[in-house]
Amino acid sequence: MQYQEKYRLKVKNQLALIETNWDLAQKRERFLLKFAINFAICFMLYILAAHIIFLNRYREAVTLDDPILKHLRPYDFSVPIFMLMYSGIMISIYQLIPQPQRLYYAFRAFTALILLRTIFIFVTPIGPPHDLIVLQDPFIDGVVGFRGQVLNDLFFSGHVANLYLLAFIARPGRIRNYLFTIAAIVSVLLVWQKVHYTADVLAAPFFSYACYSYFMKERTRVIPS
């Protein structure tokens, strides 16, 4: 009972914070319009980039001689990767919703990350390892509709980059620590499943930090929690 009461109080405080901060945000000139346009651009570019990358599967590509992959026997970690990935997304949304301005700039950083990844996929024609196990992602398969057919989208890893971006955006504390932890775990599982080369997951955090640093770090420094 004490735990339930504590949980209800926490939810109540979260809802009150959301209401207060969004009421303040909408009083700023055209903030809600800018936010809606920002979100729409981010979502549309994500879908467009996914379809562009999908067409890349027919492009001639080279496979890499990864010294780590050659010692690994692949296993299907699609379920734990999915659970970790989307738990990170949900917990990040929970933290960001009461912070409309940070959420606004977070979408900008994510949009930049999408564009960077699309560009690098086309300038680095890398094919997947021959013995990979295709990653099953319910969102990509069900919403975007590719059903495991996207293969030549390797450098850099989108799953890892997204999680690290969320970790950089998160406030210092348990949520940020959790996001960094699962980002590292997902990196290992993706390489073990041979969905990505080692270089794909090692490079991802640097692109994530670049997008966070340019589009969020300085712009949100003075925004209160």
In order along its 225 residues, the chain shows pLDDT tens digits of: 566 777 777 777 778 888 888 888 888 878 888 899 999 999 988 888 877 777 776 677 777 788 888 888 889 998 999 999 999 999 999 999 999 989 999 999 999 999 999 998 888 888 888 888 888 777 666 555 555 555 677 788 889 999 999 999 998 899 999 999 999 999 999 999 998 899 999 999 999 999 999 888 766 554 444
Q: What is the pTM of this model?
A: 0.86
Whole-angstrom Cα distance, residue 133 to residue 147? 13
- Residues composing the chain: 225
Q: In this structure, is residue 86 part of a structural domain?
A: yes
- 69, 198 Cβ separation under 8 angstroms: yes
Domain enclosing residue 167, as ranges = 32-217
Residue 171 DSSP class: P
3-state helix, strand, coil in the chain (%, to 5): 70, 0, 30
Tokens, residue 152: 């030549």
Q: In this structure, is residue 12 part of a structural domain?
A: no
Q: In this structure, is residue 4 part of a structural domain?
A: no
Tokens, residue 90: 């949900």
Q: In this structure, is residue 97 part of a structural domain?
A: yes
